[in-house]
Structure formats: structure tokens, C-alpha cells
Amino acid sequence: MKRLKKALFSVLAVVFWLALWQVGAMLSGAELLIPIPTFTQTIKAFAGLCGTGAFWNATLVSLWHILAGYLASVLLGGLFGMLSGALFWFKTLSAPIVHLMRAVPVAAIIVVAWLWIPSAMLPSVIAFLMVLPIIWSHVDAGLLAVDPQAVELCRVYGMPRREILWRVRFRYAEPSLRTGCVTGLSIAWKAGVAAEIICNPTGSLGSFLQKAKASVEYADVFAVTLMVVVLSLILENALKLIWKEQRR
């Protein structure tokens, strides 16, 4: 009953905001030079785009770009986070870089990276750079929570350092890594699409957004944005399901 009640309230919340969007868009038509597309207009435009092969090809291209950068950041971020948690000198030396990557706005990173990186590779690189410090910091924080007595007990019983690192330290860091992966996935998706909008690589969701804006097809702008949101939700929930299945 609790799950059913929670699901019902979640559906009602979505319906409420969609209805508010529809009413607000209808009222804006009489006041704005370019009215906000209604929900029904957005769905119609979305269905039209989904009927074209070019749109699905752009979706796959964006997925490839962003997931490639995301997976690279998870691997390297996990490695660097474990090194930071295990080696004080490495953590001290790398701390300024981590803080710099977290502090610089994504738009600034895109513009600077665009000076040296081709447009086709930029979304992957931006997704990588935005997620790397998140995974790095979460793994480092997870290792700080390791019980020193558990590590010392393993050493007393002669467990090799590699086994201690994997069976003890990584197990403590896993919940923090899981949180960082889920958080980083949504950030990678947003940052990657933002990079596509700015650098406009051919055949991507970002290029679709640019073309729709240039042609004043704002229903298409909302429709492409809807695809971005839907894919973000699908990827995030798929990752949560994978983590849940691994814990069983």
C-alpha cells in the first residue's frame, strides 16, 4: 500500500506540473510575441521527430559521445580516488586540480577545451571533465570511512595489501562510489548536451536544438529537450537498477 500510494502521488505530481505547463503556455499566447509551446504541441513535435531516422541517429551519436566520456571518468575517477585515499602525497598534490575542475563553470570549460579539441570529441571530453572530480571525491570520501581496526585485523591475519584494498577498502568506498556514479551520470548528460549546443557537432541532439532555435521552431526545441530529459531519467534509473541487482 505504501508503494502504491507513493506511485500514485508521483503520478499526480507529474500531472499537476504538466497541466500547469499547458495552462501557462495557453495564456502566454496572448501576451508573448513568440508563445511558449503547449504540452500537446510539444508531444506532437516529439512524435514527428521520432518518426525520422535522422533524429534517432542524432540520439545515438549523443549517447555514444556522453557515455564514452562518462565511463572514462568513472574508471579514472575511481582509480585516482583510491590513490588519494591511500597516498597522502598524491591527495595533497592533486587537490588543487580537483578543486579547479569543480569550481570552473561548464561553459568556460567548453570554450577553453574547444581551442584544442575537435567539435566531434568535445562532448565526450566535457562529460569526462565534469564527472571526473565527482567520482574522485566520492571514492576518496568513502575511503576515509574505512574502519582502521578492520584494516589492521586483516594485516594481522596476513592478508595481502591487494586483498585488503579490494575486499576492505573498496567495500567501504562502494556506497559513496555508487552515489557519485548516479550523480555524475545526470551531470555528464547535461554537460555533454551543452557542449553539443555550443560546438554544434553534426548529427547530434545539440545540433537539432540549434537548428530548431534558428528556424524559430520552438515546439521542436521543447521536443528535443524532452528527449534529453527522458534519456537522462532512463539512464539514471537503469544505473540504479544495476547497482541494486549487484547488491543482491
Q: What is the pLDDT of residues 51-78, one digit of tens each?
A: 888 889 988 988 998 999 999 999 998 8
Residues 235 and 245: their CA atoms lie apart, in Å, by 15
Q: Is the pLDDT score of 244 beyond 80?
A: no
CB 224 within 8 A of CB 208: yes
CB 114 within 8 A of CB 198: yes
Q: What is the pLDDT of residues 211-242, one digit of tens each?
A: 887 777 788 888 888 888 888 888 888 888 87
Say what the pTM is. Answer: 0.82
- Percent of the chain scoring above 70 in pLDDT: 84
- CA distances to 10, 111, 178 from 246, in Å: 27, 39, 11
